[in-house]
Amino acid sequence: MENLSFDVAHLLAGGLVLVSFTLLYQNRMTGLINIFTLHAIVLSLSVAWQAYSQHAPHLYLTAAIAVLFKAVIIPLSLQRIMVRLRIHRDIEVVGGVGMTMLLGICLVALSLVVMLPATAAADPLAREDLAFALSVVLLGLLMMVTRRNAISQVIGFMSLENGLILAATGAKGMPLVVEISVAFSVLIAFIVIGIFLFRIRERFDTVDIQELDRVRGGRR
Amino acid sequence: MPLTVTLWSIGALLGVGALGIALASNAAASRVVYGLCFGLSIILFVAAVVPRSAVALTASFPLGLPWIGAHFRLDVLSAFFLAIVNLGGAAASLYAIGYGAHEKHPSRILPFFPVFLAGMNLVILADDAFAFLVAWEFMSLSSWALVMAHHHDAENRRAGVVYLLMASFGTAALLMAFGLLAGSVGGYSFADIRDATHGPSWKSGLVLALVLLGAGSKAGLVPLHIWLPLAHPAAPSHVSALMSGVMTKVAIYGFIRIVFDLLGPPEFWWSMPPLTLGAITAMLGILSATIQSDLKKLLAYSTIENIGIVFVALGLALAFKANGMALPAGLAFTAALFHVFNHSLFKSLLFFGAGAVLNATGERDIERLGGLIHFMPRTAFLFLGACVAISALPPLNGFVSEWLVFQAILLSPSLPQWSLKLLVPAVGVALALSASLCAGCFVRAFGIAFLGRARSTAAKSAQETDLWSLSAMSGLLGLCLLAGLIPSYLIDTITPAAKAFVGGHMPTQGGIPWLSIVPIAESRSSYNGLLVFLFIVFSAFFAALIVRVLGSNASRRGPAWGCGYPDPGTAAQYTGSSFAQPIRRTLGNVAFVARDHLEMPPPGDTRPARFGVEIHDRVWDGVYTPILRAVDFCAGQLDRTHFLTIQGYLGLVFATLVALLLVIAIWP
């Protein structure tokens, strides 16, 4: 039983990293949102499994919150925003997929190298979880850096948050309050960014960040 | 008990600062505040000098950082420095009762003056790194506020900026020094640092360098001295006296506390930086003073010279202590502390005199003074006395301490290291030269400002200063004379500190007949100030008597010979810059790249001929200009980061994060 719990947690956390990789090269807007939904579902499964194996019922609530907000409300709203902005058929130019994937692999390797020696004293489940969580965070950051579209950046940011929640639930005894606040912060960030997207669109007719830089007078 | 009284009095000083704010609009405010400061300083002085057992008194309060608290400790060294600080504080307060009445904006000074006194007292009492640094910064900031009291003058504002920068830099250096001393365990109380095992040699060297930067920047060690001649004259004169005469001593206390107490047993090479820097400081300080025509700037530069002398003596004490030579180490240490005491007396007195002149004439430039001995005879006499003391002429106190420093230098051939055997005599020569230049400098300062004829109407209409100021100055001169006549008691007061900090001390001087002082042995050298004083008094008396008896009573007044120059105007007198010219031409060439320019129009041209002097500050050009340029360059480069794209900023965050993770991964 002990082995099974470890294996399933390992499988789900690894799945989350895999979905993060899929996010990295996805260039269709609709596809991106769908994969983000998958990301959120894998996360909530992983959290639910942690709740089961740690006998911590409050984590079920966290999983439910994750499913509700990240797998339902946010993707639906993003879908609506895209339809209203009429960009749901757009294809974003993602340069150098191979290079980005290679970088992503290096980041996963780095987080394993950093985390495994640093948490030598912790129990193996938490160690693996933390290493995967750090990978998800770094991949989310990588996505934010490589993408130019504002919506892809929002999604990158939220996948980063998912990594944080994975880390928070992997460690035993994390209070529920923190998770709720994290979920709400994501929601608020989403609302704020959504409003800004509309504003930007009203002003500049595009959500391409390069256009914003040109308006601000940035140097290239 | 003395520690309790001391801490309560410091608290009361802070309260007086608050009272200063409340009373600021009142006419009698300055008398009340300075009077209270005087009383509290006297209490603090008595608490410091009252005889007690040699055991250090400690107290701690749950203030400051929660797991450290604030520790205070009164031991022999802090008692000695407390006495100096509060003697200077009492004199400055007494002087300010009279001087402060002329202040146009007392509300800018009254709240900060008592707080400044309290800050200096707290630095000396602090017994953990946190309390020390907080008190140190407290002292710096309150004195900065006093420097900025007359901020309508652009020069004062510049002085304030330079002072603030140097003070922050010094505190940062001390912070890092304490960080190194506390180590990774983080024992920040001085008791923990003393007990800790001492780190490797490079670490002690680094701490020494940081302390020299931190304490040296406050004390005025070259090349960190640049703020002194700007900030000390900018403050009101009683504050200048405190900053120059007392605050620099607090910096020396910090150096002694860290290097002699906390850093563990010294190695011989520790002595070299203080010795070399001290000699350079002494030379450069007195040369700058000699060519200076602003009276208060001149005094500030002279402070730099005296700090150099003290650091040389401390360097010698380190060298002797490292070689286990207890008696010479005690001698050098005693000389350093004695000079610290003496300098605090006569430098305060000189600044008081300069303040009295400034009040009476509104002038700080000695080229526009002159003949003041006729209008301010008492001030002139007291200023002359201080000039004699600082020029190290017997029988006043300046001679005794400088003589002790030279006695210690003469013992240097017995040091085993050849590098020190060669270095110390060279340092001694530099000190001897600066001592003689110092005498010349003060002959010039006194002669041009007080003798001759008045060079401006302001100088002609000068009035004698008030009784409060005169009594403060007379008290200090009396102490100077007393310390010169019976130095043996003062040396015996320093003995416990020397015993505790360098392991050795001079032989007890109290029992030697005729109040002589004998540093090492009777056969080697001894000095008797009382005898010299009596000789001077009697020989002068008899000379006057003989002239009176043998000479003729008939007197004749005739015109003074004008050196063949027909213009009898006051501008034809000897001036300060003409007095300084030989020094400027000989030594100034090297020290300041001084150049004289004579612009002579061709025959037939009616323009007047012009004579100009060009002086460069080598330290400013060589050290500070490149630093400023580098800061400018870096700022220009970093300015580009203001114009990155959003992806660029995210990329910066990402790159930093990955780089830090890589460091963790690679670090063993």
Closest CB from B647, B658, B661 relative to A209? B647
Residue with the bigger pLDDT between A74 and B387: it is B387
Q: Is the Cβ of A218 closer than 8 Å to some Cβ of chain B? A: yes
Q: Please state, in angstroms and rounded to a whole number, the distance separating the CA atoms of residues B32 and B590.
A: 51
Evaluate if residue B68 carries a pLDDT over 50: yes
**pLDDT for the residue B496:** 87
DSSP string computed for A173-214: T--HHHHHHHHHHHHHHHHHHHHHHHHHHHHHS--BHHHHHH
Q: pLDDT of B445-504, one tens digit each?
A: 999 999 988 888 888 888 888 899 999 999 999 999 999 988 888 888 888 888 888 888
Residue B349 structure tokens: 């007195």
* A89-98, B133-142, B159-168: least confidently modelled range: A89-98
% chain B with pLDDT above 90: 53
DSSP string computed for B469-504: HHHHHHHHHHHHHHHHH-HHHHHHHHHHHHHHHHS-
What number of other Cβ atoms are within 10 A of residue B367's Cβ? 18
Q: How many CB pairs under 8 A join A and B?
A: 40
Tokens 């960014």 identify what position? A193
- Contact call for residues B463 and B357 (beta carbons, < 8 A): no
Nearest residue in B to A147, CA atom: B647
- Cβ pair A107:B662 closer than 8 A: no
- Contact call for residues B287 and B589 (beta carbons, < 8 A): no
- Cβ pair A110:B650 closer than 8 A: no
Closest CB from B650, B661, B665 relative to A144? B650
Mean pLDDT of successive 10-residue segments in chain A (220 residues)? Answer: 78 92 85 90 89 81 80 82 74 75 91 81 76 91 83 82 82 64 66 64 65 58
Q: Is the Cβ of A197 closer than 8 Å to some Cβ of chain B? A: no
- Contact call for residues B575 and B453 (beta carbons, < 8 A): no
**pLDDT for the residue A220:** 43
- Phi, psi (degrees; rounded to nearest 5) at A156: -60, -45
**pLDDT for the residue B178:** 92
Radius of gyration of chain B from Cα atoms? 26
- Contact call for residues B464 and B353 (beta carbons, < 8 A): no
Q: Give every CB contact of residue A209 below 8 A, 6+ residues apart in sequence.
A: A148, A149, A150, A153, B645, B646, B647
Which residues of chain B are within 8 Å of residue A136 when distances are taken between CB atoms?
none
Which residues of chain A are within 8 Å of residue B644 when distances are taken between CB atoms?
218
- Contact call for residues A138 and A111 (beta carbons, < 8 A): yes
- Cβ pair B645:A138 closer than 8 A: no
Residue B593 to residues B287, B488, B614, B621, B623: CA-CA distances in angstroms?
12, 44, 8, 11, 15
Closest CB from A114, A142, A219 relative to B664? A114
- Contact call for residues B647 and A210 (beta carbons, < 8 A): no
Q: Chain B window 644-663: which residues touch A at a Cβ cutoff of 8 Å?
A: 644-647, 650-651, 653-654, 657-658, 661-662
Which residues of chain A are within 8 Å of residue B640 when distances are taken between CB atoms?
219
- Break chain B into its structural domains and give their ranges: 326-331+339-548, 574-601+608-613, 618-666
Q: Please state, in angstroms and rounded to a whole number, the distance separating the CA atoms of residues B70 and B84.
A: 23
Nearest-CA distance from A123 to chain B in Å?
A: 20
**pLDDT for the residue A179:** 63
- Break chain A into its structural domains and give their ranges: 2-195
Q: Tell me the pLDDT of chain B averaged across its residues.
A: 89
Q: What is the ipTM of this complex?
A: 0.83
Evaluate if residue B372 carries a pLDDT over 70: yes
Closest CB from B643, B646, B665 relative to A110? B665
Q: Is the Cβ of A157 closer than 8 Å to some Cβ of chain B? A: no
- Cβ pair B645:A145 closer than 8 A: no
Nearest-CA distance from B634 to chain A in Å?
A: 19
Which residues of chain A are within 8 Å of residue B657 when distances are taken between CB atoms?
138, 141
Nearest residue in A to B664, CA atom: A114
Q: Chain B window 626-645: which residues touch A at a Cβ cutoff of 8 Å?
A: 640, 643-645
Band the pLDDT of B80: cuts 50, 70, 90: very high
What kind and span of H or E run contains B195? Answer: helix B190-195
- Contact call for residues B179 and B199 (beta carbons, < 8 A): no
Cα B105–B108–B112 angle (5° rounding)? Answer: 145
Closest CB from A145, A219, A220 relative to B654? A145
Residue A208 structure tokens: 């391409």
**pLDDT for the residue B244:** 93
Q: Is the Cβ of A100 closer than 8 Å to some Cβ of chain B? A: no
Considering only CA atoms, which of A169, A127, A174, A114 is closest in space to residue A10? A127
Considering only CA atoms, which of A199, A132, A212, A213 is closest in space to residue A166? A132
Q: Please state, in angstroms and rounded to a whole number, the distance separating the CA atoms of residues B477 and B108.
A: 30
Phi-psi region at A173: left, alpha or beta (left = phi > 0; alpha = psi -120 to 50): left
Helices B326-361 and B397-410, packing angle to 10 deg: 150
**pLDDT for the residue A219:** 47
Q: Chain A window 60-99: which residues touch B at a Cβ cutoff of 8 Å?
A: none
Q: Give every CB contact of residue B82 below 8 A, 6+ residues apart in sequence.
A: B6, B44, B45, B47, B48, B74, B121, B124, B125
Residue B612 to residues B246, B512, B577, B596, B602: CA-CA distances in angstroms?
37, 57, 11, 6, 17
SS3 A110: helix
B639, B654, B667: best mutation site toward chain A, by most A Cβ within 10 Å? B654
Band the pLDDT of B578: cuts 50, 70, 90: confident
Closest CB from A110, A148, A218 relative to B658? A110
Evaluate if residue B640 carries a pLDDT over 90: no
Residue B210 structure tokens: 């940081």
